[in-house]
């Protein structure tokens, strides 16, 4: 097991909790860490505690009045009318006690990971409590109050002068991060997600390419509903390789939502654990090839917290530490959590080949995704062809 990585965690991260019925459930952090511990894949000295983000850090992205509104809401001092204007007190982002403190800690966890990597304390760092990519400058959205990735990217720019490549593999488009840097040529965003035709937030088309000086630094691969592993991986690998070669970042920040899986209750994709091996594998490889290993990873979506998220998120840490586990899951982990799980827990690290009926439109979906990829990467590919022809003329 390699000692180049740090895992950001403390029990306080579980305080980000809307209510018992809400699909966003940070218990997945505990389930994931326990799975790693039961497999002896993480040591206590590899775990670091998150710090609280300061108001000044939050305001790198968020409006001061919004930060104050979140604080007041968590103290029960914000009127319903004002709360709704800030996206608070909705079905997606209900108000809960001390929500500012809980949210600021998630942001601080990602900043802790950033500092660990950028100061050379570690090559890679993982904050699974982060990845809240829908938060906007002055509004909560899609289960996200503060946008830790956006704050972290602005922090990377301001404190370390870094060019940042943000890669988002959540099934939902990484809208909040994209819009935060839409006109910034120092940040490149790549999001591969289910098409917004049927899924929140409805954005992330191939035509969203940035604006002003940032034009050409926003990439979206909206894959079709019911996309399976091979087509998904083809799109991801081609896009990541071509975008990183084009942008040449100093550091990679990956958002690792685990909601593209067939079992996820909120999305319509048909991926299996196969993609959750490939996502961190490629990020790790390219971080070493282009960024001297600098790789910061955060969590994100993932609403089957029993069968999917612990295995998918464990894969990020296992990849960071050059540890490849396969075969049966820890019997001790299964036995300790099965009494609480509403579904039978998986027995293996990987999914069974026949976990769902064949998708009848597979060839059509695969072809459509290949065309989407071609259109999304057209600016890179066309400029490459132009420069190649100029060299020969």
How far from 281 is each of 90, 100, 103, 141, 209, CA to CA, in Å? 37, 34, 29, 30, 26
Assign residue 126 a region (left: φ > 0; alpha: ψ between -120 and 50; beta: otherwise). Answer: beta
How far from 93 is each of 22, 145, 151, CA to CA, in Å? 9, 7, 19
The C-alpha atoms of residue 72 and residue 293 are separated, in whole angstroms, by: 41
Q: Does residue 134 carry a catalytic annotation?
A: yes
CB 39: neighbour CB atoms within 10 A?
17
326 exposure class (CB count in 10 Å sphere: 0-12, 13-18, 19+): exposed
Phi–psi pair at 296, nearest 5 degrees: -110, 130
Provide the Cα torsion 274, 203, 105, 21; round to 10°: -80
- The residue annotated as part of the active site, out of 62, 100, 124, 134, is 134
Do the Cβ atoms of 189 and 238 come closer than 8 Å? no
How far from 217 is each of 128, 129, 131, 186, CA to CA, in Å? 26, 27, 20, 8
Do the Cβ atoms of 224 and 368 come closer than 8 Å? yes
Collect all residues with Cβ–Cβ distance below 8 Å to 81 and sequence separation of at least 6. Answer: none
DSSP E strands, 60-155: 124-127
Catalytic positions, written as ranges:
134
């Amino acid at each position: 097991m390699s000692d180049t990585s740090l895992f950001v965690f403390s029990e306080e991260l579980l305080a980000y909790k809307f209510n018992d019925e809400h699909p966003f459930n940070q218990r997945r952090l505990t389930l994931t860490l326990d799975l790693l511990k039961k497999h002896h894949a993480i040591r206590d000295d590899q775990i670091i505690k998150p710090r609280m983000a300061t108001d000044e850090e939050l305001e790198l992205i968020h409006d001061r009045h919004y930060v104050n509104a979140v604080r007041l809401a968590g103290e029960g001092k914000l009127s319903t009318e004002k709360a709704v204007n800030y996206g608070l007190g909705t079905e997606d982002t209900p108000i809960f006690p001390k929500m500012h403190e809980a949210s600021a800690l998630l942001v601080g966890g990602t900043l802790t990971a950033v500092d660990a990597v950028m100061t050379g304390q570690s090559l890679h760092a993982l904050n699974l409590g982060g990845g809240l990519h829908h938060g906007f400058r002055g509004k909560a959205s899609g289960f996200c109050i503060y946008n830790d990735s956006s704050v972290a990217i602005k922090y990377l720019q301001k404190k370390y002068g870094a060019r940042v490549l943000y890669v988002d593999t959540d099934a939902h488009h990484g809208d909040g991060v994209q819009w935060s840097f839409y006109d910034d040529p120092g940040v490149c965003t790549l999001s591969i997600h289910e098409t917004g035709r049927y899924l929140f937030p409805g954005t992330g088309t191939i035509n969203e390419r940035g604006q002003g000086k940032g034009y050409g630094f926003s990439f979206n691969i909206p894959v079709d509903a019911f996309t399976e592993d091979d087509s998904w991986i083809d799109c991801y690998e081609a896009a990541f390789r071509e975008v990183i070669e084009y942008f040449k970042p100093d550091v990679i920040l990956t958002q690792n939502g685990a909601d593209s899986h067939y079992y996820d209750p909120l999305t319509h994709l048909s991926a299996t654990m196969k993609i959750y091996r490939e996502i961190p594998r490629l990020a790790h490889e390219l971080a070493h090839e282009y960024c001297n290993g600098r790789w910061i990873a955060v969590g994100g979506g993932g609403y089957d917290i029993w069968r999917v998220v612990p295995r998918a998120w464990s894969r990020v840490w296992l990849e960071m530490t050059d540890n490849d586990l396969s075969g049966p899951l820890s019997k001790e982990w299964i036995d300790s959590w099965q009494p609480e799980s509403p579904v039978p827990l998986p027995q293996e690290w990987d999914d069974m080949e026949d976990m769902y009926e064949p998708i009848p439109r597979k060839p059509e979906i695969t072809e459509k995704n290949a065309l989407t990829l071609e259109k999304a990467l057209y600016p890179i590919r066309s400029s490459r062809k132009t420069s190649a022809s100029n060299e020969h003329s």
